[in-house]
Structures are given as structure tokens and as C-alpha cells.
A and B are shown apart, each in its own frame.
Chain A
Amino acid sequence: MAATRLFLRASPVKCSLTGLTGGVHSSLGLTLLKLSPACTAKPQAQRRHAAHFTYHPEPAPSQYGPTQKMNLFQSVTSALDNTLAGDPTAVIFGEDVAFGGVFRCTVGLRDKYGKDRVFNTPLCEQGIVGFGIGAAAAGATAIAEIQFADYIYPAFDQIVNEAAKYRYRSGNMFDCGKLTIRSPWGCVGHGSIYHSQCPEAFFTHCPGIKIVVPRGPVQAKGLLLSCIADQNPCIFFEPKILYRAAVEQVPTEAYQIPLSQAEVLQEGSDLTLVAWGTQVHVLKEVAAMAQEKLGVSCELIDLRTILPWDTETVCKSVVKTGRLLISHEAPVTGGFAAEISSTVQVRVRWEIKAFYFHRGWSTYGSL
């Protein structure tokens, strides 16, 4: 009840749910089925929500040295600062990055490291990524910014046809592994169709690139530094709604969080919840509500790296609980949840206790 109602009533953010249990023998399933008629009631005249979840900062990590209070965009700046300091070949470029960026992710870097290392590009996404691929192939650690993930499509050809396949088609003679593309991503409440998109699913269809989405400042810095260090072209999507909302104690020194490793945030026995980025926080609240109101114990997993994703952790969890629910902001058809569900279905089919339901909004995620 709580889960489905949350997604109906809340906020501008709509998400797709896949694989919710419809199992007959569990009380959980019956409860959900019974309460569904309440969910068909039309929500009252639209209320506005500033954010549909509360961000709970995680405890400061102790193993990476001294920490400082930072929000998400500051943690990104810190990661970029560490990179420019430690790697003389590192350059940052994109639209409006010189003055600090439209989300303030690059504030102060140009003054500190010079205008030949932090510079603006004209308004040309295809050019930005193409240029980044070339710079990376020639040996520079190229960090390109695409101002909004919604604008990444002119660069789609460069990413999929050039960046992803460079190493393969040259027989490992050339590669653009030193390229990292960063982009603000996801619903923010007022973004509408062109400032809210989550295009990760389009790119997951392409071997050769890595896609990473952090859930908070500590994660963002560690994962971004891993992407930059990784010898493959990486796309790093930063949930823009968390830029200011997410504040944590973040280590000031450089540290890395391994890629392709999902993190189990909360252990449980009845249901596995999988999400990435903003939805992790939504599902944290869902898990709490489910425990309180239904007595359901949820295991919450943050996928972190979308491509290549950590199949082991997710499958191991589903073997334990028998049920899987995935939540993401992108449209449901062809969304990454479909890929996760189908892989899990194949690998752990005998352990699943529920029928496979696949539903969500098939309209624009930002409406």
C-alpha cells in the first residue's frame, strides 16, 4: 500500500516499477492486491512538492582521511580539484565551465589551474565529445561536461560509434579510455521535458562505455574519481536534484569507490529493492514505510554502476528474498529495469516467489 501510494501521489517525479510481487501465498501480496482500489482514486488537486523525499546523509567515512561538509556539486568540484592537482594532463571543458558551471561544479578551478586546463567550449555537444575523444586518444585526461543530459543526443554518435568502439576496432592500438563525460541528470521538479531526462538506457545498449550514477556526495566523489582513473570512456550522470539537497561529510583527499559494484544499503529478507541516483532515497523511505506498516523487510541495493552492472549482488539478493522491485525515473519501455528483470529472471528463476509485473509510466518522465 505504502509503496504504490507513494508513487501515485507524490511529486513531479514519476518512476517505473518493475517486478512487484503479485504472489498469492504471501500476506504481502494479498495486502497489496487488497489495497489497490484505494490507489485508483484520483489524487486531489495537484499539490506541489519541493522534493518528494528527504535526504538522509550517510555517516562520514573514516578510511579516507579528514572530511569536510560538502553538498553534491561541491564534492564534484573536490574530485575535479584532486584530479587537476594530481594529473598534469587533466583538462576540463564544456559549456560555461570556466566561470564555475551552471550548477557550480567547477567553481574556482580555472583560477587555480589556469585557462588552458579549464576552458569553455562553444555550444556544440557533438563537437565537445568528439573533441574529448581526440584529446583522450592523444593522452590527455579529458573531462567533458554536457550541460544537461537532455542535450547529450547530438553527441550520441560520437559516444556510441567513436568512443565505445575505438579500442576494439583498432585492435587495442588506440583508445579513448581517458575520457570521462559528466552530465546533470534526472528529474528536478521544474525541468519539464528537456531538463529532466535520464538517458542511461540508450547508452546501456552499447558495449565499450561505462555508465555510473551516484546517490550522494561521498559516493559521487569516489565514483567520479574511479571513472576518471578507469581506462574506459565513462559517462557520469549527476542527479541534479541532489546538487544542493544532499549534504554530507566528504573526504578532502582523493579516494576511489570501485565501479561495477552495487552496494547493499540495508539488508532484508522479504523483498529486494534496486535503484540508482535519486530513487535510492525514495526507496529508502519505501523500505521504512513497508517495515512499519506492512511488516515487510526490504533489502535495498544501490546499483551505482549501470553498465557493466553488478549481476552477482542483485541475483544473490533475489535468491534470498524471492522478490525484486526496481525503480527508475526513465520511461518504463526499454528502461534499464527491463534489462535487470530479464537477467534476474533467467538466472534465478527457481527462486522467484512472485509473478513478473512490468509497469510504470510510459509518458515523459518529467510530467
Chain B
Amino acid sequence: SVEEFLNGARVVVSARTYADFTPQATFDIKKCDLHKLEEGPPLQAVLTREEGLQYYRTMQTIRRMELKADQLYKQKIIRGFCHLYDGQEACAVGIETGINLSDHLITAYRAHGYTLTRGGTVREIMAELTGRRGGIAKGKGGSMHMYTKHFYGGNGIVGAQVPLGAGVALACKYLGNNEICVCLYGDGAANQGQIFETYNMASLWKLPCIFICENNKYGMGTSVERAAASTDYYKRGDFIPGLRLDGMDVLCVREATKFAAEHCRSGKGPILMELQTYRYHGHSMSDPGVSYRTREEIQEVRSKSDPISMLKDRMLSNNMASVEELKEIDVEVRKEIEDAAQFATTDPEPPLDDLCNHIFYNDPPMEVRGTNPWTKLKSVS
């Protein structure tokens, strides 16, 4: 039939076979600034073709997912708060490739990227943003409260997640399972008191905790120079060894994370990493993002340091992938996001019965007062 003929033709037409591509290449990466460390991560990183394509796909998925969230927010399908991660994809992807899925991770509210890298699906994430029952937190958490196994969110209160992360690290040490906890916070949170309390405890008890400060140069609308007496966030741990690296380069982040994970797993105690990165959007969807920085600055970062472009250029110039192949990935990613958005828009909202569930943990269902004495709501956990 005509269809079979065309299908056959399509297969034959595919341009290059995989044998044409370079299977792996070694790249020079920037040297990290070190604090209380004799030596740092290696200055070169090996990237295989498969890894490269995987990093590209994941970063592109995060990028498109965030842009879709932006669109849905402007259409008022997503409401409430929405803090987007585009520009910082290399951090999430690089960190994940430096640790295992069985390790633990906790971050603040700019969490969509991490939810994905830690095992969430785009459908679940988008449905959570729109507050539907198919969401990763059953529609009750929203943008800031997404969780997966070994990913403790998604936390709204600035800096509050850091002592939690140290606690998780303590559990890892106590259970002797060779797992570590990656504990993320931003440049704004770096000035919170509880962070310093955590540094002290983690160091005293040699907890396997990697503290990571994602320094995107602005705490909401305040630039780092105006908020911090010392902007060397990697040194703020004082007695904790630290590294500062380029958070826009996924290979840099990966190598540093591997180095840090090794440091923790060998029982040396906590370590601090500062990732210098940048967010293209404002702090949240209510922030246009241009009243405290210029459009030129944003444009410059986009053109010179975009993490996805950087990886793409590396792969193309080393013949590790073709332009068509990457375009195909783009198309697939776009489709995945479209499907997820469709799901997120059409999935029903959580049932009213769910309103009072999970307040406490209780074996028999608990009764919760409604707005008049004749309606009682059930709380089940």
C-alpha cells in the first residue's frame, strides 16, 4: 500500500547512523574557587553521547515546562504563586547526575526543576500547578510544595529547609546507608540565622550534607551586594570547606557535585557549594523581573551563558549529535509538555472530601468541624 511504501521511505531517508557520531569527548571546565580545601574537582569532564543527549533532553524539558507554566499562569489556569526555574536548569540536572536517586535532596520554592530530576513526571508537576487531583501532591500543595521519594520539597518559608536537610543527613549517617543529603537554598536565604545554626550542627556531628547555595544574584528584587556583607557565599560556612563554581555549565556542576558527594561519603563531614547561576524570569510570576535589573543584562546572560545552548554547542562542535537529532528532541519535548498541559487543564480538581484530610495521622477517621454544627467533615490519614 501507499502507506507502507511511505513508511519504508521514511526509514531509508534518515540521514546519519549513530556510527557517525563521536561516542564521547573530554571538555575543559572552569576551575572552582576553593575554601579550606587542598584540591578541588577535576578540570576536565568526560561526556558521552548518551549522557549529553540525556542532559539536553532533561534541561530542555525543564525549560519548556517552565515556559508553559508561564503561559498557563498568564491565562489564569495556574494561580497563586509560581517561581520559575528557567536559566538555572544546569544546576538541577548537574546535581542529579552527581548523586544517586537513592540520595536525598531538599530545596526551597523554586522547585519544579528538582521535582522533575528527582523522579516526578511533567504531567504530575503541571497538574499540581493547576491544582488538580492528578498532581504530585494531589493538588493540595501547588507550585511550592512538590515532593517525590527522597525529595523533601518544595518549601515556602525561606531558609527553613536547611535545618531539615541536616536532619535528613543525620538519619543517613545514623542508618549507615552511605546516602547523603543535598540541601539547597538561595542567596537571599543565605542571610537567615537558621542556616548558620545548621552549619554548626552539621560540622560538629560530621553530617553527610552538601549545602548548595544557588546564587542567582538577586534575592527577590535585592541584589546580592545590597543584602550580604560578604557575597562569597561559599566561604560563609567558615569552618566548612567550600567551592564556588559556574552554575550555568552542567559539566562543572556535575563534577563538583561528584567531588562533594565523595567528600561527604568518606565521612569528612559537610561541604558547601556555591553555584553562580541566573534566572531569566523574575522572582515569581508577579515580578516582571526588570525593575531591579536591565533587560540588557538578561539578554547578555541568555546569549553568552545559556546552559542549554552551551551544551548544544559543545555537542555539535564535537560531532556528538546532529542538529536534526536535537531538533527532534525539542519536538518530542514540546509534545510531552503539550500533553501534560492538556492533562493539567482537563483533570478535575480534588474532591471536597479531601479538604480536611492529612491534617493529623490518625487510624480511625477524625471528625473536623464544618462551618455550622450540622456539617462535619472527615479527616482521613
Q: Determine which of A22, A42, A357, A362 lies in contact with B368 in the assembled complex, contact meaning CB atoms within 8 Å.
A: A362
What CA separation (Å) do A319 and B240 show in the bound complex? 65
Contacts of B159 in A (CB 8 A): 123
Across the interface, name the chain A residue whose C-beta is closest to B352.
Answer: A42
Q: Determine which of A14, A42, A151, A190 lies in contact with B80 in the assembled complex, contact meaning CB atoms within 8 Å.
A: A190
Q: How large is the interface on B (under 10, 10 to 19, 20 to 34, 35 or more residues)?
A: 35 or more
Across the interface, name the chain B residue whose C-beta is closest to A6.
Answer: B371
Q: Is B43 an interface residue (CB 8 A)?
A: no
How far is the CB of A357 from the nearest CB of chain B, in Å?
6
Across the interface, name the chain A residue whose C-beta is closest to B353.
Answer: A42
Contacts of A7 in B (CB 8 A): 371-372
Q: Are B375 and A120 in contact (CB under 8 A)?
A: no
- A34-60 vs B, Cβ < 8 Å mask (1 yes, 0 no): 001101101100100000000000000
Chain B contact surface mostly: loop
What CA separation (Å) do A4 and B375 show in the bound complex? 11
A-B contact pairs, 14 of them (CB 8 A): A17-B371, A36-B372, A39-B374, A46-B349, A96-B221, A123-B192, A124-B192, A153-B157, A154-B192, A154-B193, A191-B80, A361-B371, A363-B368, A367-B355
Q: Is A171 an interface residue (CB 8 A)?
A: no
Contacts of A151 in B (CB 8 A): 157-158
- A188-218 vs B, Cβ < 8 Å mask (1 yes, 0 no): 0011111100000000000000000000000
What CA separation (Å) do A42 and B379 show in the bound complex? 17
Contacts of A46 in B (CB 8 A): 349
10 closest cross-chain pairs (CB), A and B: A122-B191, A194-B156, A359-B369, A36-B374, A7-B371, A123-B188, A4-B372, A122-B227, A363-B356, A190-B80
Across the interface, name the chain A residue whose C-beta is closest to B186.
Answer: A123
Q: Determine which of B80, B192, B359, B377 lies in contact with A192 in the assembled complex, contact meaning CB atoms within 8 Å.
A: B80
Chain B positions 219-254 with a Cβ under 8 Å from a chain A Cβ: 219-222, 226-228
Using known A-B contacts A4-B372, A192-B142, determine if residue A120 contacts B222 with beta carbons closer than 8 Å: yes
Q: Is B194 an interface residue (CB 8 A)?
A: yes
Known: A96-B220, A122-B188, A123-B191. 10 other contacts (CB 8 A): A36-B372, A40-B375, A95-B222, A96-B222, A120-B226, A127-B193, A361-B370, A362-B356, A363-B368, A367-B140
What CA separation (Å) do A191 and B187 show in the bound complex? 24
Q: Are A359 and B158 in contact (CB under 8 A)?
A: no
Q: Is B31 an interface residue (CB 8 A)?
A: no
Q: Are B372 and A359 in contact (CB under 8 A)?
A: yes
Contacts of A14 in B (CB 8 A): 371
Across the interface, name the chain A residue whose C-beta is closest to B156.
Answer: A194
Q: Are A190 and B370 in contact (CB under 8 A)?
A: no
Chain A positions 70-101 with a Cβ under 8 Å from a chain B Cβ: 95-96, 99
Using known A-B contacts A42-B352, A192-B81, determine if residue A359 contacts B371 with beta carbons closer than 8 Å: yes
Most buried by B among A192, A195, A332: A192
What CA separation (Å) do A120 and B356 show in the bound complex? 39
How far is the CB of B329 from the nearest CB of chain A, in Å?
35
| Chain B interfacial positions (CB closer than 8 Å to A) | 79-81, 140, 142, 144, 156-159, 188-189, 191-194, 219-222, 226-228, 291, 349, 352, 355-356, 359, 368-375, 377, 379
Q: Are B156 and A193 in contact (CB under 8 A)?
A: yes
Most buried by B among A14, A95, A332: A95
Q: Is A8 an interface residue (CB 8 A)?
A: yes
Using known A-B contacts A122-B191, A123-B159, A362-B356, determine if residue A17 contacts B372 with beta carbons closer than 8 Å: yes
How far is the CB of A191 from the nearest CB of chain B, in Å?
8
Q: Are B373 and A357 in contact (CB under 8 A)?
A: yes
Across the interface, name the chain A residue whose C-beta is closest to B358.
Answer: A363
What CA separation (Å) do A178 and B94 show in the bound complex? 50
What CA separation (Å) do A161 and B312 show in the bound complex? 56
Contacts of B79 in A (CB 8 A): 190
What CA separation (Å) do A133 and B108 show in the bound complex? 29
Q: Are A126 and B193 in contact (CB under 8 A)?
A: yes
Q: Are B369 and A361 in contact (CB under 8 A)?
A: yes
Q: Is A360 an interface residue (CB 8 A)?
A: yes
Chain A contact surface mostly: loop
Q: Are B374 and A40 in contact (CB under 8 A)?
A: yes
Contacts of B371 in A (CB 8 A): 4, 7-8, 14-15, 17, 39, 359-361
Contacts of B226 in A (CB 8 A): 120
How far is the CB of A194 from the nearest CB of chain B, in Å?
4
Q: Are B359 and A363 in contact (CB under 8 A)?
A: yes
Contacts of A332 in B (CB 8 A): 369
What CA separation (Å) do A96 and B222 show in the bound complex? 7
- A90-117 vs B, Cβ < 8 Å mask (1 yes, 0 no): 0000011001000000000000000000
Q: Are A362 and B369 in contact (CB under 8 A)?
A: yes
How far is the CB of B359 from the nearest CB of chain A, in Å?
6
Across the interface, name the chain A residue whose C-beta is closest to B142.
Answer: A192
Contacts of A126 in B (CB 8 A): 193
Q: Are A360 and B194 in contact (CB under 8 A)?
A: no
Q: Are A123 and B219 in contact (CB under 8 A)?
A: yes
Contacts of A4 in B (CB 8 A): 371-372
How far is the CB of A3 from the nearest CB of chain B, in Å?
9
Q: Are B142 and A37 in contact (CB under 8 A)?
A: no
Q: Determine which of B144, B189, B356 lies in contact with A123 in the assembled complex, contact meaning CB atoms within 8 Å.
A: B189
Contacts of A150 in B (CB 8 A): 157
Q: Are A359 and B373 in contact (CB under 8 A)?
A: yes
What CA separation (Å) do A190 and B286 show in the bound complex? 12
Contacts of A22 in B (CB 8 A): 373
Across the interface, name the chain A residue whose C-beta is closest to B219.
Answer: A123
Across the interface, name the chain A residue whose C-beta is closest to B374.
Answer: A36
How far is the CB of A195 from the nearest CB of chain B, in Å?
7
How far is the CB of A364 from the nearest CB of chain B, in Å?
8
Across the interface, name the chain A residue whose C-beta is closest to B109.
Answer: A194
How far is the CB of B355 from the nearest CB of chain A, in Å?
6
- A345-367 vs B, Cβ < 8 Å mask (1 yes, 0 no): 00000000000010111110001
What CA separation (Å) do A332 and B371 show in the bound complex? 10
Using known A-B contacts A17-B372, A37-B374, A357-B373, determine if residue A363 contacts B355 with beta carbons closer than 8 Å: yes
Contacts of A96 in B (CB 8 A): 220-222
Across the interface, name the chain B residue whose C-beta is closest to A366.
Answer: B80
Contacts of B156 in A (CB 8 A): 193-194
Contacts of B349 in A (CB 8 A): 46
What CA separation (Å) do A39 and B142 show in the bound complex? 29
What CA separation (Å) do A154 and B159 show in the bound complex? 10
What CA separation (Å) do A99 and B355 show in the bound complex? 39
Across the interface, name the chain B residue whose C-beta is closest to A195.
Answer: B81
What CA separation (Å) do A360 and B371 show in the bound complex? 4
What CA separation (Å) do A362 and B377 show in the bound complex? 10
Contacts of B352 in A (CB 8 A): 42-43
